[in-house]
Chain A
Amino acid sequence: MGWLESRLGLGEILRKTATGKITPRSTGWLHTLGYAALSVLLLQGISGVALAFFYVPAADHAYDSIRFLERDVAQGKLLRALHHWGASVMVVLVALHALRVFFQGGYKAPRELTWLAGLGLLGVTLGFAFTGYLLPWDQKAYFATKVGVNIAGQTPAIGEHLQGVLYGGAGIGPQTLNRFFALHVLVLPAALIGLLVLHLYLIQRHGIAPTRTRTDDAGEPGKPYHPYHTLKEALVAILAVGLVFFLAWRVGAGLEAEADPADLDYDPRPDWYFYAPFQLLKLFKGENEVIGAFWIPAGLGALLALLPFLDRNKERVARKRPIAVACGILFALATIGLTVVGMTDRPTHFATPPHPLGATKQLREGYDLVRRGRCFSCHQVVIDGVTYGQLGEHDEAPPLQETEYEPEDLADFLEDTGMDNMPSFPLFSAAQRLAIGRYLQALRR
């Protein structure tokens, strides 16, 4: 150690800048959220690199490569679920960290740029979440991306052009996947590293902001940063990463059917952290659409960016800055409210039945064929009390869980149904038709 230290001198630099510094006495548990976010960020980076070892960034192989990872690679399912839940936990931690800084007045002079860099990091986090969606090329990926890019298309003046750049062609298509992949693994990480270095450097330069004093009062000194505050940071970071592991292990990451632009049965939903803007969109109708899609989000972003310059109040204690605190509470309540409404406000039908991921190969094949044959365009199916699919022009089509055929009989029936309003499927092989029969049989149970 001595040999290395005499040559590198890293320990000395750290003692002078970070670990040896005295933190204000008001530094507490709430000041650990940034480090926890950083830990989950590292988890995302590591799991992301591992995923890239399997993932094929091309529309005709992307879905298959994810399915291969889920089914055939040991712990591949867990790896992908970690990355999936890491994104959710990351959004929560970054948002809580920003709220902490807001309510404790940490953004005030001289830390305006720290706040701005942090805001940029929040934007990059949401950008990662959004571009990551498309990569598995499943139904959710396809439609959520289409909606998201069309929202970007509402931007005044440059909207249409921006849409073309993101899509990489006329409308969403296979090239879009490569654009999003490049954004997700090259552009956003570069932006993230730049902003993060700036953010951490500025924290070094200005130190941790005391919470109970005016901006011109340095507050009472507390204990050295290391090992007193770092212990708290380590514990919270372990909890955060543990939570990601727990969710990944218990809940897992969903994978819907492969993207199908002509699917009429699909009810696209974003992940929970986009529910608030999703619900906001429903509030503005017709020509006012651009208000919910662009002006409100852009206005909020601008307001947050200008916050340290608009709010010249030198007080940090919440009681002495009623306007800022009231605005913050209102904003938080509106976001939570919209998210809750977005969660509950969903159509009662028109959804794709869930993929039987854990089932046998034959059942999974049956499911894929039922989707390819577009059975859900005319037949509904009730699984666990939820109705999927839709009734088409022929409302006498029986629900799929009520078919009486044995699998072998159904295979014969499908070859030539002899009915006007029910198509025959002679191009499916006998084994394929049998797989459909087995899938329907499984639905009955």
Chain B
Amino acid sequence: MTTEPSDSRDLPTNTTRRSWLEMFVAMLLAIPVLGPALLAAWVVIRPGKRADPIEVMALPLAEIPSDGVRTFRVQYRRQHGAFVEDVERVVYLRRKGNNVIALSAECTHLGCNVHFDAANKKFACPCHKGTFDLDGAVLGGPPPAQLRRLKAIVPTDAAAPVRLEI
């Protein structure tokens, strides 16, 4: 632009003004693109709402062992995006006195389901070989935290099922 004859007469001021004008118009051109792009990005990446905890019925205390674990599949319905999803997740239940320890099977490392190894009384993850003890504490491997404990509400009536908070 600066080499055009019409500009060469008073180069300093005119060039600056012209380049400012060019930049301003370029910015105007960007508005119709950036506007929708920013809106779309905001809609997609804005954080979702936190779901409220749900209470799910598990088993009566009498059916939960204290020397091992009982594999229980909790089932509940939740909203996931546009879908209503019937969720099924594995929880390991163990009785400790009059309380129940409910451990989510989801490995705290990267989310694979841990298995209960009955012979060695521990949980083992098939993905990256993390292991946990009966209380969910890390024994070995990469997991950074103990297995997630679900809040278990034990009813006074021994025959009534224990409730779990998901």
Contact = CB atoms under 8 A, between A and B. Distances in A.
A146 B112 contact: yes
B: contact size bracket: 35 or more
B129 interface: yes
A147 B142 contact: no
B127 interface: yes
Given A147-B127, A164-B48, A264 B105 contact: yes
Given A147-B110, A392-B71, A174 B118 contact: no
Interface in B80-97: 80-83, 85, 87-90
B81 to A, nearest CB: 3
A95 to B, nearest CB: 24
Contacts of B109: 150, 281, 289
A175 B51 CA distance: 15
A286 B126 CA distance: 17
A377 B71 contact: yes
A170 B53 CA distance: 12
A264 B90 contact: yes
Contact of A285 (B70, B87, B141): B141
A225 interface: no
A261 to B, nearest CB: 6
A151 B110 CA distance: 7
A271 interface: no
A395 interface: yes
A47 interface: no
Interface in A326-363: 347, 350
Interface in A202-243: none
Q: Which 5 A-B pairs have the closest CB atoms?
A: A175-B81, A173-B80, A174-B83, A262-B88, A150-B110
Given A150-B109, A170-B51, A261-B87, 16 more contacts: A169-B48, A170-B80, A173-B83, A174-B85, A175-B82, A178-B82, A262-B88, A268-B126, A281-B109, A281-B142, A282-B142, A347-B126, A390-B115, A392-B71, A392-B118, A395-B118
11 contacts: A143-B127, A164-B47, A165-B45, A170-B50, A170-B80, A173-B87, A261-B88, A261-B89, A262-B89, A286-B142, A347-B126
Interface of B: 44-45, 47-48, 50-51, 68, 70-71, 73, 78-83, 85, 87-90, 105, 109-113, 115-116, 118, 126-129, 138, 140-144
